[in-house]
Structure 1
């Protein structure tokens, strides 16, 4: 079995195996006409259950043939212009090349003696991102597995910087539309259930700063500690960007850590047209960025950035076998000193390759395209009497629902929209997301593919209307 180890003697097998795999994926991409086949779990499970993992095929071609049946044929393909559901972007080729390289070399970014140049490349990209944000000369950061981990580390630092030993007294403020990882992080950090204080949003789904100010003042009067405010630059459902300058001013007033969750909106950092929408982010104490959302990178590629590199010490622990304390004095750059993770992939290489091939403006122009498409999509929905659209987009999401003229029961309209989404997914013709606004069921376009056109949106809306009308017609027939 040593013949399968990647080394100097198996370089040709590596080349031929990877080439064959690339050919299969390329062929699948070239012939994919829908984002999904519509396969159900019950239909696909028998093929996977039938695989005997204790009976290897001993042949790469045979394994790839099998993979076609159990995965490639029925995968959900984010590159298709009618995949419109979640925050999944099509990926750029330089990043995919970087993925192939980093997987083969398999550097681990925890210590210098496992990565060498990989460490310096990651640090260079952290400095580049911090400069784009405007965090100043003492900024630093580290790559993470995604926005949830970045938010957790940011709140860990905020907790450790708070001036109290009583976790029960700590409070975190986030808008009603903030990511659920805020609550999860608070729980993981040992904070009480009431620690996260939801702040109402306005009609544009942005945090109401007057309400935030009132809650922070109430917190102080009650003898509690305003540990952190989590401002969101791109909420998952609405793409809304909280009023960052006003939030920063309140954090200054109360001595509170300001964290900006820009997992989605970080694409504006390289936008040639819309960078001003992030004004105020430079005043944050920490920032979450997900390059695998709006920088068109493969999962995972994310980071947490901080204004003061000294705060990263709250994630620092030393082990003699890995990063003994003497390495600090020896100025050896061990990234594990900054990270919640130990073993960690060289995910920074993907972004490095992308910037070196496409440049920041090239990435930003792609993100501008989807933001501009969302604006045109909003105009389309606002002019269509069949649909109710919730809010004008600040980024690239549209939340809407089908509203039939002949039906007035909100619950029945909810069911029609749920049915339309499921029927559309089952058909494989398009994939859209669902969410709730208040108690009502809505649908969502998350636009991250520059290849998607207004004609695509029009066609999908027509499909949604058709499925919803079919459901309502069938319901009427059953009732009669």
Structure 2
């Protein structure tokens, strides 16, 4: 009888963190874990996880370095003091003060990043949470700005995550070009609201030009097309959003409204709602098709748009982690034969979050065109691959998509957050147009007419400026570094005795896991039930390995779980690396593997041997 995965994970955790040497046994209820030599049995959940802190009743004294009552009494809020904290164009003193504080922030953070070589320091979340238990806002000002900045630099930054470290290779966040900080400060100081022309003016015009530039990178239309639409008040080539989630939602929103649009006796889904729309079309549901590696934002969008997230149908993937196009074709044929169901969209992935894989976009486009289905390409991660002459062929067929999502804060290396959505048809976004009496009036050029956001910062200025500084060539070099490094890392993993490469890289993401050499041959020849048991043990091992390495604070890889049926060995927990930091080198990745080997062989080996 196999041990439940959670019990295996807990057993390893207790051995390492609590120092309890154990040999496992379980009762028929599959819940009781026995610790031989301890003289008692402990139920799952009987011990706390020290890494969890949410929901705990923690006693604390408040925030770090709280200002004394005496000093706080000296600070008073009145019109004169408030006037001094606003930027006044005619006040040279205010300009000097602003410069002083900007230097304090920039230089302080620069020193922090230089000195803070690890990923995060060892202070636990529980300990930090205990210091932030104050729920009261002080009546009068509590601190001077200089003190607040000092607190941010000295008390907050050191306890944040150093995502700029070349050893931070676990998520889609990385070091930024230094000028991004200056551009972000400019955008904050300008404080434009781009949804309406009255609060943005030229910024909206610049944004429309930028949308045309990236639209052209994707769709490669001719000069006449862009001359007509680049500054058109009637059409839209796309739009900026807060992130990729909202970009995906916007694309599906357009797809839904285009199907459930106004017809005789029906004013459209935006006015009458989903129930009336389904009645008007004589259907009972709408579905979205995507591979099982589809981003969870698609389920969020389905929930918000009234489809219900269970109607995002995950399709099987092939050996290369791409959607099985034969399964897609069968699903489209079967669903299309059901008069009560409509396919709202098919989503092709151009850079899966977990594996970096790219779906066969040309074949998906062919299936969608045959059945008149909206084809959306989620290129939130992989979109900038188009900048690389060497690798842009990996996104072949993206120009056939009806809509495309790309994120700015991923491989455009922008600060958080920036998403974009593009449409092949310049009139597509008419399906989501909204008007008001005070902004976004009919006939106006306000960008907010065809946008979910009611307010939005001018982050497009950051990307527009970055493209001028970096150029196609500069971004292409970054893309090629990441993909090339991923190939080198895959080769290194294959060469190591105790590691298994699970998903080879197509772009710059790969997954692997620690598998002791003695188990590799057993797993290869195991019957399904035995393979499930071995994988459960390996899952527990890799979960604790990833957690232990993260808490050590020197380096970071993430982890995910690939869902597989029992006949294929069951679920598999893998370690995941995202190689986008241009400062990350193969030498650093070898150090990360060395650290993982050391953790497993010196800290986990004995416990793992007792369990498996």
- TM category (shorter chain) comes to over 0.9
Aligned counterparts, 1:200-279, within 5 A: 200-223=316-339, 224-279=341-396
Deviation above 4 Å: which 4+ runs of structure 1? 50-53, 476-480
Q: Is residue 505 of structure 2 the alignment partner of residue 393 of structure 1?
A: yes
Q: Which residue of 2 aligns with 1:197?
A: 313
CA distance in 1: counterparts of 2:383 and 2:179, whole angstroms? 20
Q: What 5-or-longer segments of structure 2 have no aligned partner? A: 1-81, 230-235, 262-276, 523-533, 564-570
Answer whether contact 1:82 1:452 (CA < 8 A) is retained.
Answer: yes
Q: Which residue of 2 aligns with 1:6?
A: 87
CA distance in 1: counterparts of 2:514 and 2:598, whole angstroms? 10
Q: Which residue of 1 aligns with 2:240?
A: 143
Q: What 5-or-longer segments of structure 1 have no aligned partner? A: none
* Structure with bigger gyration radius: 2
Q: Which residue of 2 aligns with 1:155?
A: 252
1:226 counterpart SS class:
strand
Please state how far the C-alpha of 1:12 moved relative to its aligned partner: 2.1
Please state how far the C-alpha of 1:192 moved relative to its aligned partner: 3.6
Q: Which residue of 2 aligns with 1:98?
A: 183
Q: Is residue 370 of structure 2 the alignment partner of residue 286 of structure 1?
A: no
1:231 counterpart SS class:
strand
CA distance in 1: counterparts of 2:579 and 2:471, whole angstroms? 22
Please state how far the C-alpha of 1:221 moved relative to its aligned partner: 1.1
Q: Which residue of 2 aligns with 1:84?
A: 169
Answer whether contact 1:87 1:293 (CA < 8 A) is retained.
Answer: yes
Q: Which residue of 2 aligns with 1:178?
A: 294
Question: Which of these residues, 402, 426, 432, is aligned with residue 551 of structure 2?
Answer: 426
Please state how far the C-alpha of 1:315 moved relative to its aligned partner: 2.4
Q: Is residue 98 of structure 2 the alignment partner of residue 17 of structure 1?
A: no
Please state how far the C-alpha of 1:38 moved relative to its aligned partner: 3.2
1:365 counterpart SS class:
helix
CA distance in 2: counterparts of 1:53 and 1:432, whole angstroms? 38
Q: Which residue of 2 aligns with 1:470?
A: 602
Please state how far the C-alpha of 1:267 moved relative to its aligned partner: 1.5
Q: Which residue of 2 aligns with 1:416?
A: 541
Please state how far the C-alpha of 1:52 moved relative to its aligned partner: 6.7
Answer whether contact 2:165 2:174 (CA < 8 A) is retained.
Answer: no
Please state how far the C-alpha of 1:313 moved relative to its aligned partner: 1.7
Q: Which residue of 2 aligns with 1:120?
A: 205
CA distance in 1: counterparts of 2:536 and 2:557, whole angstroms? 20
CA deviations 1:31-77 (Å, max 9, x no partner) are 12112213321121233336974164442221122223431111111
Flag the 1:178–1:411 CA change in 2: closer, same or farther, 3 A. Answer: same
CA deviations 1:301-333 (Å, max 9, x no partner) are 2201011121212222111111222xx1xxx42
Flag the 1:411–1:363 CA change in 2: closer, same or farther, 3 A. Answer: same
CA distance in 1: counterparts of 2:176 and 2:201, whole angstroms? 27
1:39 counterpart SS class:
coil
Q: Using structure 1 for the length normalisation, give the TM-score.
A: 0.94
Question: Which of these residues, 117, 120, 124, is aligned with residue 40 of structure 1?
Answer: 124
CA distance in 1: counterparts of 2:109 and 2:611, whole angstroms? 48
CA distance in 2: counterparts of 1:273 and 1:287, whole angstroms? 21
CA deviations 1:199-235 (Å, max 9, x no partner) are 1110110011111000000011112222210000000
Answer whether contact 2:478 2:582 (CA < 8 A) is retained.
Answer: yes
Q: Which residue of 2 aligns with 1:323?
A: 440
**Whose relative contact order is higher, 1 or 2, with alpha carbons under 8 Å and at least 6 apart?**
1
1:78 counterpart SS class:
coil
Let me know the Cα RMSD of the aligned residues: 2.0
Please state how far the C-alpha of 1:277 moved relative to its aligned partner: 0.8
CA distance in 1: counterparts of 2:611 and 2:318, whole angstroms? 40
2:284 counterpart SS class:
helix
2:171 counterpart SS class:
coil
Q: Is residue 449 of structure 2 the alignment partner of residue 368 of structure 1?
A: no
